[in-house]
Amino acid sequence: MGTTVEELIENFELFDSWEDRYRYIIDLGKKLPDMPEADKTEDNKVRGCMSQVWLTFSVDDDGAEGKRMHYVADSDAFIVKGLIGVLFEVMNDRAPAAVLEIDPADLMTRIGLENHLSPNRRNGFVAMVDKMKAAAQANL
């Protein structure tokens, strides 16, 4: 299981400057598992992102804990890949209902991203959340 929203906020608060926070975001992106090239298709593209972003998902259901959404994503931009890492911290390997509870605007505000991302990056961030939530909704 990943990080809670509260834990993610605490992690961001450890850094005094936005330069350090950006480094942390990029490091989260570097930790993402590789996405197979075969999954980087038009169907898997996230619409609304300036950069190229691909997102796939699978549903794990071991019976005991119920369904868990498992996402794999990649981008051709380091900062966007890092934003994917931020989202995965709080949304990956969670129950579909838990994924649906995440509020991207609140998350961006609470970690301070809304003032440090361009409008296009913010739109892309929300588009990634929307695609992740649509997958979760279809698997409730």
Active site residue 60: no
Distance CA 19, CA 120 (A): 20
From the list 8, 25, 46, 49, the catalytic residue is 49
Residue 77 backbone dihedrals phi, psi, to 5 degrees: -120, 130
Active site residues: 49
